[in-house]
Structure 1
Amino acid sequence: MSDMRGEVILRVVPRPADINSNGHIFGGWVLSQMDIAGGIVAGRIAKGAVATVAIESMKFISPILLGDLVSVYAHAERRGRTSVAIRIDVVATRGGGAETVDLTSGVFTFVALDENHRPRLLPDA
């Protein structure tokens, strides 16, 4: 774990079905992995249900290749009254662990939801 990246939330290996027409892993696949990881962290902070409300920034640094071990790191970057911004970094391990490659990063914002699926206040930190 890297202190700057936060906690490893997910580790996954893309499947052949996740390849796009360029032979790389489809960007939507990695976006969904990031959303899952961010939702886990946001849900812990909210102590309940959350919903993704924004992707403030997203940057693809390197392509994801078939056979990569993909690690998704996440941590809270800032808190509001009802929402939390989660910094998410995605890294690949290649060549049996010989190489680590930064893949993508972004900031996803999640809002805490009440039982009626409406925004609610985050609990105290």
Structure 2
Amino acid sequence: MNIKKYKNIPNGILTLQTIAMPSKINSNGNIFGGWIMSQIDLSGGILAKEISGGKVSTLKIKKLIFYKPINSGDLISCYSQIKKIGNTSITIDIEIWIKKINSDYFGKFYQSTKATLIYVAIDNKGIPRKIFPISII
């Protein structure tokens, strides 16, 4: 099994931050992967919505890699970075970084998960619309 080497600095901007709660634990005692996926989608959707200047819909999860498990009580930070802006779609890379705040490893900071999602800008009827990127900085 080839596991990527971890870097110490997240790519992108902080778009979402939350605490992993005990109610999200799976049968292995870690945070449920489906909940992690929802945080990734929320995080990328926030940036896509800001960039497109309106509604977006998730089109595709292009890549999703779980490197390390997340535990209850961990601080979850989602960093999002634009990879590509098309006529109606936006591709965004999302990284989840964990900060241990409730364990013997207090303060440890590491990347847990990485994903690439594609969002489509839509109008009020759910029809794809042209993107006119706006500056968010």
**Coarse TM-score class (shorter-chain normalised):** over 0.9
Partner of 2:3: none
Letter in structure 1 aligned against 2:37: L
Is 1:37 aligned with 2:78? Answer: no
More helix by share: 1
Q: Provide the aligned C-alpha RMSD in A.
A: 1.6
Contact 2:95/2:113 (8 A) holds in 1: yes
Supply the distance in 1 between the matched residues of 2:94 and 2:79 (Cα, whole angstroms). Answer: 6
Partner of 1:15: 21
Q: 1:39-85, CA deviations, whole angstroms, 9 ceiling, x for partnerless residues?
A: 10000111000000000000000000111101000011111110000
More strand by share: 1
Deviates more, 1:31-40 or 1:92-101: 92-101
Q: What TM-score, normalized to structure 2?
A: 0.85
Q: How much identity, in percent, do the aligned residues show?
A: 35
Partner of 1:60: 66
Is 1:112 aligned with 2:121? Answer: yes
Q: What residue ranges of structure 1 are gaps of 5+ in the alignment?
A: none
Q: What TM-score, normalized to structure 1?
A: 0.93
Change (3 A) 1:102 1:124: closer
Q: What residue ranges of structure 2 are gaps of 5+ in the alignment?
A: 1-7
Structure 1 runs (4+) deviating above 3 angstroms are: none
Give aligned pairs, total.
Answer: 124
